[in-house]
Amino acid sequence: MDVKDVLQFTDTLFFSETGKHIDRLQETILKGTLDGQKYTEIAEEEHCTEGHVRNVASELWQILSNALDQEVNKSNFRRTLQRSNLSIRSSPFTNVSNVNFCNNSNIKDSEVMNNRSPASPSNLEKTPTQPHLDLSDAPKIFTFYDRTSELTTLKQWILDEDTRLLAILGIVGIGKTALAVNLVEQIKHEFDFIIWRSLATSPPLSILQTNIIQFLRRGDAPVSAPEEKATTGGLSLVDYLQKYRCLLILDDVQMVNSSGQLAGNYQPGYEDYGTLFRQVGELSHNSCLLLLSSEKPREIAALEGKNQPIRSLQLNGLGAGAREILREKGLAEDENWSELIEQYRGNPLWLKIVATMIQDLFNGNISELLSDDTLFLGDLESLLDQPFNRLSEPEKQVMSSLASETAPVSIAKLRENMQLSRSRQRCVAVSQLLKIMQSLGRRSLIEKIQEGDRTFFTLGPVLKEYVKQTCCCQVSSTSNLD
């Protein structure tokens, strides 16, 4: 599609919605968008304010979205038109109207309008824009609160900033999967293929790839059948990600990592996952690989950056939505909800579990639970066993030491507590301690508190209670970390 075709076609759509042709500023916005210009640059060119350009553009995208019945914005304008495969020349609409743009039409608006039916834009020749979905591994989410800013950030990264490798990270139950399910719902029309796979059973990469490629080949890919036969025989998953615009979601990615080692080490035989993640992050393509994990993958840690196509989003507790969870569970005494939410760190699953228990034991009255000095874990204990059983011994020792502290501690204090020896061995031990803290951070298990230029570390109340109550406390805090 050349620029003239795009402008002409856009004008047709615009006219069909408003009965008017696009004006000069709207045309400049469209051209600028195709040229990758920023709104500031367009404003300079048109000698007006950026705010004005944004307002006009926003109205324009809205009108085009209505006309095409799908979201059109600055970042997806070109792609949407390409994918829609709409051609002004092949449109029966234009055969009769010979529509021009920018008020140059020598056909009266009324003549064009009279020809709208049955050839309105929704009747134009159009390739279906439905993506090929394989979400059989994705759970159904029934209620979903908050996460507006997280969704905005993720959409911006994926749609506007072409992020290729992305991880949503957070502790068990924080809502990684639920967030991704909602994200997919909102952006699915931007992709040719959307595939969701869980790594909960630790499938070897070769099996996973074969399975995904089978779906990609079965899908009605937008290439001709002979070409498909001739070319797909030896294509790898990465080849497909380069060939089509795919959104591939891998859930429970931590399950291909080793237990008993620092975070991010692959299980023996699973190192090829790391190679795949690196390739997806570094090669040029239009697809996005979204990883959901309670441990930050090593490749993400190494390659992510603000100006890089590799990012990670650390998920924290819910805000106001946490109250909705308690309301849904029918808890009483809403004046005490904030305290409960704070103690359980706004974690939706933890709150669901504790709210059920408050219902079961205290008929929904929170104060009876809060009156006890010990934080109640109940079913949370078995939920937390899984991430804790994955820790290395040195990590368990550090968790144990942090759990015994009443206030956040600095690395220096922690080192003292761990009774590290002085002299030369200390250097090794300090670097080891830093590695352990980094690993615990990558598992979202420690909280970091910044006071001026000093950093302190602590555990949240639930984790502290869990560590106190479980075997981690039996580990001697005087033992060496090596």
Ligand X SMILES: Nc1ncnc2c1ncn2[C@@H]1O[C@H](COP(=O)(O)OP(=O)(O)OP(=O)(O)O)[C@@H](O)[C@H]1O
Summarize as ranges the residues that interact with ligand X (CB under 6 A): 141, 143-147, 170, 172-178, 252, 294, 318, 321, 325, 348-349
**Measured between alpha carbons, how far is residue 107 from residues 75, 88, 99, 103, 442 in Å?**
32, 16, 7, 10, 64
Cβ-closest position to ligand X: 175
Residues counted in the chain: 482
* CB contact set of 400 (below 8 Å; sequence gap of 6+): 467, 472, 473, 475, 477
The rounded distance, in Å, linking the Cα atoms of 391 and 471 is 12
The two beta strands, 310-314 and 165-169, are parallel
- Least separation, in Å, of the C-beta of 366 and ligand X? 19
Cβ–Cβ < 8 Å for 159, 133: no
Q: Which is nearer to ligand X, 147 or 464 (CB)?
A: 147
Residue 294's binding partner among ligand X, Mg ion, none (Cβ under 5 to 8 angstroms by kind) is: ligand X
The rounded distance, in Å, linking the Cα atoms of 439 and 427 is 18
- Residue entry with tokens 């000069």: 24
Residue 321's binding partner among ligand X, Mg ion, none (Cβ under 5 to 8 angstroms by kind) is: ligand X
Residue 145's binding partner among Mg ion, ligand X, none (Cβ under 5 to 8 angstroms by kind) is: ligand X
Q: Which is nearer to ligand X, 11 or 252 (CB)?
A: 252
Q: Is 177 in the site for Mg ion (CB under 5 A)?
A: yes
Rounded to the nearest 5 degrees, what angle is found at the Cα of 158, between the Cα atoms of 154 and 159?
110
- Least separation, in Å, of the C-beta of 167 and Mg ion? 13
Residue 205's binding partner among ligand X, Mg ion, none (Cβ under 5 to 8 angstroms by kind) is: none
Residue 175's binding partner among ligand X, Mg ion, none (Cβ under 5 to 8 angstroms by kind) is: ligand X
Q: Which is nearer to Mg ion, 73 or 177 (CB)?
A: 177
- Least separation, in Å, of the C-beta of 274 and ligand X? 21
Assigned token pair, 385: 């066993």
The rounded distance, in Å, linking the Cα atoms of 434 and 411 is 8
Of 147-176, binders to Mg ion (CB under 5 A) are 176
* CB contact set of 242 (below 8 Å; sequence gap of 6+): 283, 284, 285, 287
- Residue entry with tokens 């690395």: 411
- Least separation, in Å, of the C-beta of 159 and ligand X? 21
State the DSSP string of 213-246: HHHHHHS--SS-HHHHHHHHTT--HHHHHHHS-E
- Least separation, in Å, of the C-beta of 385 and ligand X? 12
- Least separation, in Å, of the C-beta of 270 and ligand X? 19
Rounded to the nearest 5 degrees, what angle is found at the Cα of 403, between the Cα atoms of 441 and 429?
60
- Least separation, in Å, of the C-beta of 215 and ligand X? 23
Residue 178's binding partner among ligand X, Mg ion, none (Cβ under 5 to 8 angstroms by kind) is: ligand X
Residue 169's binding partner among ligand X, Mg ion, none (Cβ under 5 to 8 angstroms by kind) is: none
Q: Which is nearer to ligand X, 351 or 459 (CB)?
A: 351
Q: Which residues bind Mg ion (CB under 5 A)?
A: 176-177
